[in-house]
Amino acid sequence: MLIALTEDPRSTVVALAEKLGVSRNTAQARMARLEAAHAFLPFDRRIDPKAMGYSLTAFISVHVEQRMLGAIVEELAGIPEIVQAHGLSGQTDLLLVVVCIDAEDLFRVNGRIRDCTGVERTESSLVMSELIPFRMKPLLERGVPAVREHRA
Q: Which domains does the chain have, with CATH numbers?
A: 1-40 (1.10.10), 49-126 (3.30.70.920)
Reduced to 3 states, what is the DSSP secondary structure of residue 115? coil
**Which is more confidently placed, 20 or 148?**
20
Question: CA distances (Å), 87 to each of 64, 95, 103, 132, 135, in order?
Answer: 11, 7, 25, 22, 22
pLDDT of residue 112: 98
**How many CB atoms lie under 10 A from the CB of residue 8?**
11
What mean pLDDT comes out for the span 126-146?
87
pLDDT digit string, tens, across residues 74-114: 999 999 999 999 999 999 999 999 999 999 999 999 999 99
pLDDT of residue 43: 83
